[in-house]
Amino acid sequence: MTRDSADPRAAFEELALPLFEPLYNYARWLTHDPIEAEDLVQETYLKGLRGFGSFAAGTNFRAWMYRILRNTFLTSRSGLRAVPPVSIDEDPDTYEQISVSETPESLFFARADSETLRVSIEALPLLFREVLVLSDVENMSYREIAETLSIPIGTVTSRLIRARQKVRNTLRGER
Amino acid sequence: MTSHMTPEEIEQQADGEAEFAEHLRDCAVCANAVLGAMQMKRAIRAMPRFTPPAALRARVLAAPPRRSYSAWWLAAAAVLAVVVAGVVLLRARDAAARQLVDLHTTILASANPVDVLSTDRHTVKPWFEGRLPFAVDVPDLAPPFHLIGARVIYWRGQPGAYLLIGKGAHRISLFVFAGDAVPRAIASHAGMSIEVWRARGLAYVAVADVPANDLQPLRQAFARD
């Protein structure tokens, strides 16, 4: 990939357009709403283009674009509603410990159709939902998620565990 | 074999962020947990993705955008701020009305509604001196109004003058405060008329069970120089 300094817009589009579908997908997971997701993606591209000069070449462009989209969402009406005013990162010691008698996960994932799975992920609070989506839907590494969300890797791990536990509990409850 | 893997280690293994091959070879419990975590990941990744409408790509490529997401949000915030300010103002007026009507009723129900009983304004005005941080001008009241007495009251943490004025069998409470703690207008409350006016840096609030129009001469008498 080359950055043509003569035409920053072309350089931006070359980097940003391959992210079009993933950004829209992420926007849908954040907003739960197709219209809002469209506006969010459009605003993200506009802000990205405007701020492209401040993007440091060689750093993670994908994380940069996701971060713009997320920040735009968080300052929107539904974004402000989605984030609780207090921290939700609880003590990792409260995680469920592995139980020997636990039903193998495979049993209920075989039964859980993707619609049930989607509903249980959509029910997650935003801060848990986004790490799960970035990790398991967008296939980001812990490091890249940490960079996108501007949080430590340890927080990524603990939120991810709690997100997955919540989804598992929901699926179990629906057995 | 030592203890089982922690929940973090299970997820890290499933995510390919760490490797615990040795332990997993010997521990069926942890191997099962890792397998479960990987199956869940796979199930999530296999979910159908949201596909953007074709028109969106065209819109994104065309600048400037049809409308701005943040501009829309700012407009909504502005509308909300106006509504909230309006509600707060109305509530403040409402609260002031309730408090002043309560004061009026309490004072009238008291055995000694006033501390100085005098129909003579020249007695009442000096009585307030040293009791209040401002001077209270008591005009000569023309019939049907007549001065009954006065006292000092406290409302919302500040001292004020209280004048009890009669109009026939009706009793009118006239509160006088310095400063701008009194709302510009106070709605009538519980069948009481409330009249608010300002003169020479003082705020006057008249409360009585008479029609609001009947309070106008009183207002003119006090607002007059």
Residue A64: the pLDDT is 94
Residue A98: the pLDDT is 45
- Chain B residues with CB under 8 Å of A158 CB are 8
Question: Looking at the complex, does the CB of residue A29 fall below 8 Å from at least one CB of chain B?
Answer: yes
Only one residue has tokens 């479960």, namely: B36
Give the ipTM: 0.80
Q: Which two tokens stand for residue B156?
A: 């919302």
Residue B70: the pLDDT is 65
- Chain B residues with CB under 8 Å of A24 CB are 50-52, 56
Q: Do A105 and B40 touch (CB under 8 A)?
A: yes
Q: Which two tokens stand for residue A96?
A: 């469920």
Q: Which of A1-5, B101-105, B172-176 reaches the highest mean pLDDT?
A: B172-176
Asked whether residue A4 carries a pLDDT value surpassing 70, the answer given is no
Q: How far apart are CA B138 and CA B128, in angstroms?
A: 11
pLDDT tens per residue, range A53-108: 888 887 899 999 999 999 999 888 777 776 665 555 554 445 554 443 345 555 55
Residue A69: the pLDDT is 95
Mean pLDDT of B128-145: 82
Task: Give the closest-approach CA distance of A4 to chain B in angstroms.
Answer: 18
Pick A43's closest partner by Cβ from B4, B39, B69.
B69
pLDDT tens per residue, range B62-95: 765 445 566 677 788 888 888 888 877 777 777 7
Q: How does DSSP assign chain B, residue by residue? A: --SPPPHHHHHHHHTTSS--HHHHHH-HHHHHHHHHHHHHHHHHHTSPPPPPPHHHHHHHHSSS-SS-HHHHHHHHHHHHHHHHHHHHHHHHHHHHHHHHHHHHHHHHHSSS--SEE-S-HHHHHHHHBTTBSS----PPPPTTEEEEEEEEEEETTEEEEEEEEEETTEEEEEEEEESS-S-S----BTTBEEEEEEETTEEEEEEESS-GGGGHHHHHHHH--
Q: What CATH number matches the domain at B92-223, 3.30.200.100, 3.30.2020.30, 3.90.600.10, 3.30.70.890?
A: 3.30.200.100
> Which segments of chain A belong to CATH 1.10.1740.10?
8-82
> Which range (A5-14, A34-43, A113-122, A154-163) has the least confidence?
A5-14
- Give the chain A residue nearest B11 (alpha carbons): A161
Return the ∠ at Cα A15 (arms to A12 and A20), rounded to 5°: 100
Mean pLDDT of B163-180: 87
Mean pLDDT of B101-110: 83
Return the ∠ at Cα A166 (arms to B28 and A149), rounded to 5°: 105
Residue B2: the pLDDT is 66
Asked whether residue A122 carries a pLDDT value surpassing 50, the answer given is yes
> Which segments of chain A belong to CATH 1.10.10.10?
93-173
- Chain A residues with CB under 8 Å of B75 CB are none
Centroid of chain to Cα B134: 29
Asked whether residue B114 carries a pLDDT value surpassing 90, the answer given is no
Domain A8-82 has CATH 1.10.1740.10: yes
Q: Do A42 and B47 touch (CB under 8 A)?
A: no
Asked whether residue B18 carries a pLDDT value surpassing 70, the answer given is yes
Among A residues 106-165, those touching chain B with beta carbons less than 8 Å apart = 106, 109, 112, 114, 117-118, 121, 132, 135-137, 139, 141-142, 157-158, 160-161, 164-165
Q: Do B11 and A157 touch (CB under 8 A)?
A: yes
Residue B62: the pLDDT is 78
Q: Do A106 and B7 touch (CB under 8 A)?
A: no
The single-letter DSSP state of residue A137 is I
Asked whether residue B21 carries a pLDDT value surpassing 80, the answer given is yes
pLDDT tens per residue, range B28-47: 999 998 998 898 898 898 88
Asked whether residue B1 carries a pLDDT value surpassing 90, the answer given is no
Mean pLDDT of B158-171: 87
- Give the chain A residue nearest B9 (alpha carbons): A157
Task: Give the closest-approach CA distance of A117 to chain B in angstroms.
Answer: 7
Residue B12: the pLDDT is 92
* Percent of chain A clearing pLDDT 90 (strictly above): 53
Q: Do B59 and A121 touch (CB under 8 A)?
A: no
Q: Do A105 and B39 touch (CB under 8 A)?
A: yes
Average pLDDT, chain B: 83
Q: Do B61 and A13 touch (CB under 8 A)?
A: yes
- Chain B residues with CB under 8 Å of A40 CB are 69
Which fold does the domain A93-173 belong to in CATH?
A: Arc Repressor Mutant, subunit A (1.10.10)
Q: Do A45 and B60 touch (CB under 8 A)?
A: yes
Asked whether residue A175 carries a pLDDT value surpassing 50, the answer given is no
Residue A27: the pLDDT is 95
pTM of the model: 0.54
Question: Looking at the complex, does the CB of residue A94 fall below 8 Å from at least one CB of chain B?
Answer: no
Residue spans of the domains in chain B: they are 7-45, 92-223
Q: How far apart are CA A22 and CA A27, in angstroms?
A: 8
pLDDT tens per residue, range B203-217: 898 998 888 888 888
- Chain B residues with CB under 8 Å of A96 CB are 7
Pick A41's closest partner by Cβ from B39, B47, B52.
B52
- Give the chain A residue nearest B67 (alpha carbons): A39
Mean pLDDT of B174-194: 78
